[in-house]
Structure 1
Amino acid sequence: MGEIRTETRPPFIHPTAIVNTSEVGNDTRIWAFVHILSKVSIGVNCNICDHCFIENNVVIGNNVTIKSGIYIWEGVTIKDNVFLGPNVVFTNDVRPRSKQYVPIQPTIIDEGASIGANSTILAGITLGKYCMSGIGSVVTKNIPDHALVYGNPARLKGWVDEFGQKLKPHTSTEWISEEGVIYTQTETGLKKIL
């Protein structure tokens, strides 16, 4: 039986990674051929896989998984417990032109969100708490809390709980999990009834 580890370890940085920031939390692992610029904050217990690039003015929370091949541009905030599948694409300019600079529009990936592999996230939007974007989705607008979206463009296809399990309709404004937990509709999506 495995032991539960209670002590923390300093971050692991692969010898081929270039990490210019000193703000990397304990128990975080940064793998091969990752490049992280100096004005980046990374929380504890994160996993940043091979071949990623993280630009200045990015904030990454705790317990975040960033799979291989992801470039995270200025203005992106990734909150705690987020999962980013391989090759997720972020944009940070809604009108891209060479050598014409417009103000960065912040993009927020809220707590517990899961973004499927090869999804594209447009600049200036918020993906709500515990939402899930399916593989290859093109996310062009804000996504509500607990929403399940997929497609091009991504559209609401249902609701999920904190574990990514699909919720079933319970009443006209409530949904229920397999465990019997009820969620109610709010202005920002769904919320668990305590």
Structure 2
Amino acid sequence: MSQIYIHPTAEVDVKARIGQGTRIWNYCQVRESAVIGDNCIIGKDVYIDQSVLIGSRVKVQNGVSVYNGVTIEDDVFVGPHVCFTNDLIPRAFNDNWSVTATIVRRGASLGANSTIVCGITIGEYAMVAAGAVVTKDVPAYALVKGNPARVAGFVDRMGNRTDNG
């Protein structure tokens, strides 16, 4: 098995579980009870909140924030500066706050600077275009883009259009 690599500037809580072959780069923070699978790449300046679940062979690019309540399955690509939310009614003073779950299914691809609003599921091998604001569930193999994100076509497992779009 290949070794785990954690850059000296990264902060990884002792209660986080990191899979074999995973590499965590500069200035990352991985909080308690986070689980990251095997052979992942966690880019520079990534924040992974407590209890986040990340599968194997996931690539999380620089500057991503993954908040409590997010589950990312195997083989997902998370582009630079993607932001996940976990609060449908954000307030600094909300005494009744609770985490709202989000699931990113196997093989999905999230483009740079996309925002993933909590409480949704992004389907298997779906593709979210750069800058999209995803506010609703995304079907498997769908290509979504815009604000709010809308289905613009469909892709295969490799991201190639299948709808002649």
Normalized against structure 1, the TM-score is what? 0.82
Q: What is the CA–CA distance in structure 2 between the aligned matches of 1:88 and 1:22, rounded to whole Å?
A: 22
Per-residue CA deviations over 1:114-154 (Å, capped at 9, x if unaligned) read 00000000011000000000010000000000000000110
Match of 1:130 among 125, 133, 137: 125
Q: Does 1:63 align with 2:60?
A: no
Q: What is the CA–CA distance in structure 2 between the aligned matches of 1:49 and 1:159, rounded to whole Å?
A: 28
Q: What is the CA–CA distance in structure 2 between the aligned matches of 1:130 and 1:31, rounded to whole Å?
A: 26
Task: Indicate the residue corresponding to 2:23 in structure 1.
Answer: 29
Q: Does 1:93 align with 2:90?
A: no
**For structure 2, which runs of at least 5 residues remain unmatched after alignment?**
none
Q: What is the CA–CA distance in structure 1 between the aligned matches of 2:8 and 2:100, rounded to whole Å?
A: 33
Q: What is the CA–CA distance in structure 2 between the aligned matches of 1:131 and 1:156, rounded to whole Å?
A: 10
Task: Indicate the residue corresponding to 2:146 in structure 1.
Answer: 151
**For structure 1, which runs of at least 5 residues remain unmatched after alignment?**
1-7, 170-194
Secondary structure (helix, strand or coil) at the match of 2:17 reads: coil
Deviation (angstroms), 1:99? 2.5
How many residues end up aligned between the 2 structures? 162
Match of 2:114 among 94, 98, 119: 119
Aligned AA (1:52): V
Task: Indicate the residue corresponding to 2:136 in structure 1.
Answer: 141
Aligned AA (1:115): L
Q: Which has the higher contact order (CA 8 A, sep 6+)?
A: 2
Q: What is the CA–CA distance in structure 2 between the aligned matches of 1:31 and 1:76, rounded to whole Å?
A: 21
Identity, % of aligned pairs?
Answer: 45
RMSD: 0.9
Q: What is the CA–CA distance in structure 2 between the aligned matches of 1:98 and 1:141, rounded to whole Å?
A: 24
Normalized against structure 2, the TM-score is what? 0.96
Q: What is the CA–CA distance in structure 1 between the aligned matches of 2:98 and 2:69, rounded to whole Å?
A: 10
Q: What is the CA–CA distance in structure 2 between the aligned matches of 1:71 and 1:162, rounded to whole Å?
A: 25
Moved over 2 A (4+): none
